[in-house]
Amino acid sequence: MRAVVWHGPDQVRVDERPEPTLEQPDDAILRVTTSAICGSDLHLVRGRLPRVRPGTVIGHEFCGEVVAVGEGVRRHRPGDRAVAAMHTACGRCPSCLAGQHARCPDYAMFGCGELFGDLDGGQAELVRVPLADMTLAPIPSGLDDADALFVGDILATAYTACVDAGIAPGETAAVVGCGPVGQLLVECLQLFAPAAVFAIDPVAERLAQAAGRGAVPLPAGDDPRAALRALNRGRRADCVLEAVGSAGGLETAWRLVETGGRVVLVGLLVDEPFPESAGQTWLRALTVRPVLGRPYAHRDTLLRLIQQGRLHPAGVVSETVPLADAPDAYRRLQARLTTKVLLRP
Amino acid sequence: MRAVVWHGPDQVRVDERPEPTLEQPDDAILRVTTSAICGSDLHLVRGRLPRVRPGTVIGHEFCGEVVAVGEGVRRHRPGDRAVAAMHTACGRCPSCLAGQHARCPDYAMFGCGELFGDLDGGQAELVRVPLADMTLAPIPSGLDDADALFVGDILATAYTACVDAGIAPGETAAVVGCGPVGQLLVECLQLFAPAAVFAIDPVAERLAQAAGRGAVPLPAGDDPRAALRALNRGRRADCVLEAVGSAGGLETAWRLVETGGRVVLVGLLVDEPFPESAGQTWLRALTVRPVLGRPYAHRDTLLRLIQQGRLHPAGVVSETVPLADAPDAYRRLQARLTTKVLLRP
Amino acid sequence: MRAVVWHGPDQVRVDERPEPTLEQPDDAILRVTTSAICGSDLHLVRGRLPRVRPGTVIGHEFCGEVVAVGEGVRRHRPGDRAVAAMHTACGRCPSCLAGQHARCPDYAMFGCGELFGDLDGGQAELVRVPLADMTLAPIPSGLDDADALFVGDILATAYTACVDAGIAPGETAAVVGCGPVGQLLVECLQLFAPAAVFAIDPVAERLAQAAGRGAVPLPAGDDPRAALRALNRGRRADCVLEAVGSAGGLETAWRLVETGGRVVLVGLLVDEPFPESAGQTWLRALTVRPVLGRPYAHRDTLLRLIQQGRLHPAGVVSETVPLADAPDAYRRLQARLTTKVLLRP
Amino acid sequence: MRAVVWHGPDQVRVDERPEPTLEQPDDAILRVTTSAICGSDLHLVRGRLPRVRPGTVIGHEFCGEVVAVGEGVRRHRPGDRAVAAMHTACGRCPSCLAGQHARCPDYAMFGCGELFGDLDGGQAELVRVPLADMTLAPIPSGLDDADALFVGDILATAYTACVDAGIAPGETAAVVGCGPVGQLLVECLQLFAPAAVFAIDPVAERLAQAAGRGAVPLPAGDDPRAALRALNRGRRADCVLEAVGSAGGLETAWRLVETGGRVVLVGLLVDEPFPESAGQTWLRALTVRPVLGRPYAHRDTLLRLIQQGRLHPAGVVSETVPLADAPDAYRRLQARLTTKVLLRP
């Protein structure tokens, strides 16, 4: 089968690989019909993730058709369509029962190297899915791949951020960065009846898309804080969600948040500094809350809301290309010529 | 001044009355620009409320313009527009600080007789408003009386019901009874991202109005439970909100709710029986939750959501008539020829 | 092996039965070291549960030592000590992921007959445990069987009741019925910092035991409501937990609860009537909440609290007898000569 | 009357001052029977608070007897004993109704200078208390001044911290700094049924006091993180509460908190740096939460819990001295020779 394989920093190729087989009674084999390139895949491709073995198949957003199941699999049968969570978990250990699936001893992230469980990913024609009853959710009839795909990762992340932010009806929120995750944040925030969602991004087109999802665009220009206040009765936002993952994004977030408010950190960070001292953050009474998406907690709700037309995640797809074109898609993503690419084997 | 006065069962007249005056330093006098007839006023008019003195001025939904304030009033000045809460509360006792304003020692319901504090109501040209800083909320500029009016009672009740029901995104809700409160329940429920809101009412027009607010109408006919299941993947509703206040409404509510679900009692009840035994309710694991509207907790949020266009309470008004026509309006309400009447002095 | 077998109404015998074997890859075989007789077992024995096949092995509270595991079992090894949940669940379906394990398609209650999944129980020398990674929790070293046993059923039920009751610090609670579940309710309530826990029971000794756990005993006599008010600043209890499961218990609960309070239904009910009308319950603004224990949600927390000495569930054991004496123990339980019996094979 | 007056950095004197009088209808005059010196008073005395006018009477923790009330005061009568909240609030504006009393337009902190409302404090024989119905809470009979005093400030702060930290039963917490607030944190944490509370402080005696309140002392020595892990099954604390207010305290807090945990900032901070980058805090998924005490939300609950013997705040008092000795008490506090001093006029 063909698969998107990492061979070293900025070396991505589509290789021929042996077909995966069932290894455990809980395994399933999925024939991938659609996978997506996630922003975090770009970090991997550039070589910024530690302990990734050359030869790793990339990809942790994917869905497809079940083609084989181990004898321990109860919920899926060959022929079923299903979408995978970005990582595995057992569902039965104390961490899983406490809703902290990312702390499960059976945690493994698809396509992210040894540090994350050394599990081949889904940018491929076939993929082995451990703990299939848990990892895979059936795709409700009537949903396209592009509708369902993101409940395993970025849509779950956006929704988790809103839940963890505790957005109450009538509050105001601001989203910093309007890439795919930022767009989904704007969509998910609307589920929680805010008085207004503001959005900020240097790219006018992204801002226009956020506005199309109901956000009030903030010009990225000279003084977004003043612009926000002018639009929000003199106040800053009750909650700011940072979806860039950069020092500049953090600075903007801290500037846009009202005294007593919350800064929710959604974008991937590594070693960016805090934009102000702990003392200043204390005096402003700001709560700082990092977010890790919880697909297992929320995917069933999300699929239901997509079915009902309350969420339209497929709208963030910028293009769909054949699997063979994955290397080119990575290049164009790095060059910011595209935003969210689907791969079709 | 003129006022709508109760003289005994089914005897409502518009009388000339002395103008109210400031009695306490916390009082304000409001010139009423709009008041509404509430469903519970019909109970009073029929003589079903105990200890109502003939001569009582009716009315607990009203707004207007402040014309005089006591020396202890800090937040309102003559000329300000304001909407009243349906009852008074001090804001400072342990009950108020615990959010239970209806248990305040200074609780008095406007226009409901001795049992509720013996306070004249707002279906009048002028009304004395005790504890004005608490009782009155400023009407934001840009809002009409009909937009703002209901935050003091029925809109607050509908919203409180949704909050207390704990509607989570992706759940299904059903509203039994599509009068004014039922319509507002449908609107408020939409704020909490349900997968679907079902509505049931014997009157086709009310059902059509609920559908216009996003509800899925259930034919009231033979078997609403079967109809609901057919529309809801074989399941009943996670949460049913009873907004009729009748034995029949309770029966329907209990039939429409899923095992493990919640029945929220919004409609005024007196001595209607439970539709099944405690044992059966236990076996079905149904939570039963009565609702008392909390205008003080929610009116600020509601005014914000109305301003933002997320709620349109004025849409439930069926007609607006001069204060002088109040007796006729009461007759037509009793005869179910109209649903929500505004009075303009 | 020997097992406690139901042969028809009030016919319980200890029989020789074939040893259970592994049937599914997820199964384990547990050598039971201690099992308990639960109040609901008495219902079964009397023949009040529908569709129980004569020949059923009784018992859903048990712990022991793992003696064999299927190839799909990851968390347990032969020789490990473990306590079972009262029912099975997969941990991976939408119901389980939503925390509603009792709605799992793989739900089966141990030893309760066909209606509940037709699974032999744990009052035996050996028991087959399906979905062992989920059903069994390891017993922390240092805990005796009697400490750990109840996290699978009655302690989880008592704790779930407190969580669902939403006891806030400084509130008052009352427990109606001081059998084993009532005693554990008193213990668990103390975890939530109530101002006071009141207890009521006609048996003086049980009341004394509740007092030993920190409850304030209410004389069951003429007028418990007046007694409660005298001890509680003139108020009734914010929350009443009914742990008898009888019409009389319900009456007492409704009498002891303060306006605006909560009645939590813990005791097993079948067809007992509500003690007042829906209208009266609405006027008093009482929330009614049935409880179903959630061992999967809480057992890890409970084991931790037992280890730390914050809970002492073993204290409710009234006697420990050999498995062979089970029939006699059932007779004495029916005659109310004992309260909580452990069986040792 | 005599009062403790600030005359400039490190210049505190007991002066003769004119007796305060009723200025507003909502005012009361309180004859102070006990006041306390709060840690934040030391900041003021040193001259670290901006815009404090020389001549300001210090003190925001005090209780006493009402001697006069304005005509608008409904809840207090001369002769009543009452304890003050540290700051005033109206109870009626949108901020107060949303529970954010510190954002009330009528906010004024006692004895903290112009920036905080320019209101004379309670380290005096008499004090004017604005908005007396709100600011003052009656002291339940049976409670000494030292029992009740702290519900207006440091006990409310400690309790608010625990509530905001969301301590769930079975979790582990660590308190950094065992001064008076740290001691009360240890006491309040016990209300939430943690598996364990760890405490750290360089002073052995403070650590012993924390142990006396149920904490597990951590030697402050070489490696508190290793010590904590050794006592906590290899894990760090789920929640760490910083009660020092120093860069060193922040470092310790960040070292003691488990991945995915919470750091709660209780101690007063000014410009201390974060001990690690935002990126590292994100990777560790740490939530950072500053705390502002909410006496209005919690004082009624706290008084109830003190009455019931669940809290013993008087235990943190290190000495009680006459008002005249206040200057000396400030010196000894600065020199760390005492910890919590009560003043008796």
Q: How far apart are CA C256 and CA C253, in angstroms?
A: 5
CB–CB of C241/C175 below 8 Å? yes
Q: What is the mean pLDDT of residues B227-248?
A: 95
Please indicate whether, in this complex, the C-beta atoms of B91 and D97 are within 8 angstroms of each other.
Answer: yes
Are residues C9 and C125 located together in one domain of the fold?
yes
**Among the three residues A262, A290, A318, which one is the final residue of a domain in this structure?**
A290
Q: Is A103 on the interface with D (CB under 8 A)?
A: yes
Average predicted confidence (pLDDT) for chain C: 96
Are residues B281 and B308 located together in one domain of the fold?
no
Residue in A265, A268, A277 nearest the CB of D273: A277
Q: How far apart are CA D5 and CA D12, in angstroms?
A: 6
Q: How far is C301 from chain D (nearest CA, A)?
A: 5
> The whole model's pTM is what?
0.96
Q: Is C304 on the interface with D (CB under 8 A)?
A: yes
What is the SS3 assignment for chain C?
CEEEEEEECCEEEEEECCCCCCCCCCCEEEEEEEEECCHHHHHHHHCCCCCCCCCEECCCEEEEEEEEECCCCCCCCCCCEEEECCEECCCCCHHHHCCCHHHCCCCEEECCCHHHCCECCCCECEEEECCHHHHEEECCCCCCHHHHHHHHCHHHHHHHHHHHHCCCCCCEEEEECCCHHHHHHHHHHHHHCCCEEEEECCCHHHHHHHHHCCCEEECCCCCHHHHHHHHCCCCCEEEEEECCCCHHHHHHHHHHEEEEEEEEECCCCCCCCCCCCHHHHHHCCCEEEECCCCHHHHHHHHHHHHHCCCCCHHHHCCEEEEHHHHHHHHHHHHCCCCCCEEEEC
Q: How far apart are CA B261 and CA B160, in angstroms?
A: 18
Please indicate whether, in this complex, the C-beta atoms of D283 and A269 are within 8 angstroms of each other.
Answer: yes
Q: Within a 13 Å sphere around the CA of B30, how many CA atoms are in the beta-carbon half?
A: 34
Please indicate whether, in this complex, the C-beta atoms of A273 and D278 are within 8 angstroms of each other.
Answer: yes
Chain CA centroid to CA A97, Å: 23
Please indicate whether, in this complex, the C-beta atoms of C283 and B292 are within 8 angstroms of each other.
Answer: no
Write out the two tokens for B262: 């919640």
**Of the candidates B89, B19, B13, the residue with the CA atom closest to the CA atom of residue B296:** B89
Q: What is the mean pLDDT of residues C234-258?
A: 97
Q: Is C168 on the interface with D (CB under 8 A)?
A: yes
Q: Is the pLDDT of residue A221 over 80?
A: no
Q: Is C324 on the interface with B (CB under 8 A)?
A: no
Q: How far apart are CA C145 and CA C35, in angstroms?
A: 9
Q: How far is C310 from chain A (nearest CA, A)?
A: 20
Q: Is D296 on the interface with B (CB under 8 A)?
A: yes
Q: Is B282 on the interface with C (CB under 8 A)?
A: yes
Please indicate whether, in this complex, the C-beta atoms of A292 and D282 are within 8 angstroms of each other.
Answer: no
Q: Within a 13 Å sphere around the CA of A297, how many CA atoms are in the beta-carbon half?
A: 21
C71-97 confidence digits (pLDDT tens): 999 999 999 999 999 999 999 999 999
- Residue A49 is predicted with a pLDDT of 86
Q: Is the pLDDT of residue A73 over 70?
A: yes
Please indicate whether, in this complex, the C-beta atoms of B305 and A170 are within 8 angstroms of each other.
Answer: yes
Are residues D278 and D302 located together in one domain of the fold?
no
Q: Which residues of A touch D273 (CB under 8 A)?
A: 277-279
Please indicate whether, in this complex, the C-beta atoms of A286 and D290 are within 8 angstroms of each other.
Answer: yes
- Residue B222 is predicted with a pLDDT of 74
CB–CB of D89/D26 below 8 Å? no
Q: Which residues of C touch D304 (CB under 8 A)?
A: 170, 195
Which domain CATH number covers B62?
A: 3.90.180.10
Please indicate whether, in this complex, the C-beta atoms of C168 and D301 are within 8 angstroms of each other.
Answer: yes
* CA angle at D305 for the pair D300 and D307, rounded to the nearest 5°: 95
Q: Which residues of D touch A270 (CB under 8 A)?
A: 279, 283
How far is residue D140 from each of residues D144, D303, D317, measured CA to CA in Å? 9, 8, 20
Are residues B186 and B320 located together in one domain of the fold?
no
Q: What is the mean pLDDT of residues A279-293?
A: 96
Range of the domain at D272: 156-290
Q: How far is D194 from chain C (nearest CA, A)?
A: 8
Q: How far apart are CA D204 and CA D217, in angstroms?
A: 9
Residue in D25, D93, D297 nearest the CB of B71: D25
Q: How many CB atoms lie within 10 A of CB A168?
A: 14
Q: Within a 13 Å sphere around the CA of B93, how many CA atoms are in the beta-carbon half?
A: 16
Residues comprising chain B, all counted: 345
Are residues B52 and B109 located together in one domain of the fold?
yes
Q: Where are the alpha helices (DSSP H) in chain A?
A: 39-46, 94-97, 132-135, 145-148, 154-165, 180-189, 204-212, 224-231, 247-256, 278-283, 295-307, 326-334
Which of B22, B97, B298, B299 to mutate to probe the D interface, most D CBs <10 Å?
B97
Q: Is the pLDDT of residue A106 over 70?
A: yes
Q: Is D176 helix (H, G, I), strand (E, B) or coil?
A: strand
- Residue D220 is predicted with a pLDDT of 67
Are residues C160 and C134 located together in one domain of the fold?
no
Strand partners, A14: A4
Q: Is B195 on the interface with A (CB under 8 A)?
A: yes
Residue in C24, C93, C296 nearest the CB of A97: C296
Beta strand segments in chain D, E = 2-8, 11-16, 28-36, 56-57, 61-69, 81-84, 87-88, 108-109, 126-129, 136-138, 172-176, 196-200, 216-218, 237-242, 257-265, 287-290, 319-322, 341-344
CB–CB of A20/A126 below 8 Å? yes
Cα dihedral angle (D62, D67, D71, D72), rounded to 10 degrees?
A: 20
CB–CB of D320/D125 below 8 Å? no
A50-62 confidence digits (pLDDT tens): 889 999 999 999 9
**Among the three residues A268, A290, A312, which one is the final residue of a domain in this structure?**
A290
Residue in A191, A192, A308 nearest the CB of B196: A308
**What residue ranges of chain D have pLDDT lower than 50?**
none
Write out the two tokens for D236: 């760090």
A317-327 confidence digits (pLDDT tens): 999 999 999 99
Chain CA centroid to CA D133, Å: 21
Residues with Cβ < 8 Å from A313, sequence gap 6 or more? A146, A147, A149, A150, A151, A154, A155, A184, A187, A306
Are residues A168 and A241 located together in one domain of the fold?
yes
CB–CB of C73/C133 below 8 Å? yes
Q: How far apart are CA D212 and CA A49, in angstroms?
A: 48
- Residue D206 is predicted with a pLDDT of 95
- Residue C222 is predicted with a pLDDT of 74
Which of C97, C101, C129, C133 to mutate to probe the A interface, most A CBs <10 Å?
C97
Are residues C45 and C114 located together in one domain of the fold?
yes
Question: How would residue B324 be classed by pLDDT, with cut points 50, 70 and 90?
Answer: very high
CB–CB of C43/C135 below 8 Å? no
Q: How far is A48 from chain C (nearest CA, A)?
A: 33
Neighbours of chain A (3+ CB pairs under 8 A): B, C, D
Q: Which residues of D touch A99 (CB under 8 A)?
A: none
Average predicted confidence (pLDDT) for chain A: 96
Helix (H) or strand (E) holding B283: helix B278-283
Are residues A14 and A138 located together in one domain of the fold?
yes
**Segment 28-87 of chain D within 8 Å of chain C by CB:** none
Are residues C312 and C225 located together in one domain of the fold?
no
Q: How far is A167 from chain C (nearest CA, A)?
A: 21
Question: How would residue C220 be classed by pLDDT, with cut points 50, 70 and 90?
Answer: low
The DSSP 8-state label assigned to residue D272 in this structure reads: P
Q: How far apart are CA A3 and CA A18, in angstroms?
A: 10
Residue in D260, D273, D286 nearest the CB of A278: D273
Q: How far apart are CA A217 and CA A234, in angstroms?
A: 17
Which DSSP string corresponds to D181-201? HHHHHHHHHGGG--SEEEEE-
Burial class for A221, CB neighbours closer than 10 Å (0-12, 13-18, 19+): exposed
Q: Which residues of C touch A98 (CB under 8 A)?
A: 300
Q: Which residues of C touch A160 (CB under 8 A)?
A: none
Which domain CATH number covers A286?
A: 3.40.50.720
Residues with Cβ < 8 Å from B11, sequence gap 6 or more? none
Residues with Cβ < 8 Å from A57, sequence gap 6 or more? A3, A4, A5, A6, A17, A111, A120, A121, A122, A123, A124, A127
**Of the candidates D176, D161, D162, the residue with the CA atom closest to the CA atom of residue D236:** D176
Q: Is C6 on the interface with D (CB under 8 A)?
A: no
Least CA distance to D24: which residue of chain B?
Answer: B72
**Among the three residues D260, D290, D320, which one is the final residue of a domain in this structure?**
D290
Share of chain B above pLDDT 90, in %: 95
Please indicate whether, in this complex, the C-beta atoms of A310 and B193 are within 8 angstroms of each other.
Answer: yes
**Of the candidates A108, A111, A189, the residue with the CA atom closest to the CA atom of residue A155:** A189
Chain CA centroid to CA B335, Å: 20
- For chain B, the first-to-last Cα distance in angstroms comes to 10
Q: What is the mean pLDDT of residues A256-269?
A: 96
Phi/psi of residue B126, nearest 5 degrees: -135, 150
Are residues B243 and B143 located together in one domain of the fold?
no
Q: Is B99 helix (H, G, I), strand (E, B) or coil?
A: coil
Question: How many domains does chain D fold into?
Answer: 2
C166-187 confidence digits (pLDDT tens): 999 999 999 999 999 999 999 9
Q: How far apart are CA C76 and CA A243, in angstroms?
A: 41
- Residue B268 is predicted with a pLDDT of 92
Residues comprising chain C, all counted: 345
- Residue B176 is predicted with a pLDDT of 97
Are residues A29 and A134 located together in one domain of the fold?
yes
Between B154-165 and B295-307, two packed helices, what is the crossing angle to 10 degrees? 100
Q: Is A40 helix (H, G, I), strand (E, B) or coil?
A: helix
Residues with Cβ < 8 Å from A196, sequence gap 6 or more? A172, A173, A216, A231, A232, B308
Please indicate whether, in this complex, the C-beta atoms of A92 and C26 are within 8 angstroms of each other.
Answer: no
Residue in B269, B277, B287 nearest the CB of C282: B269
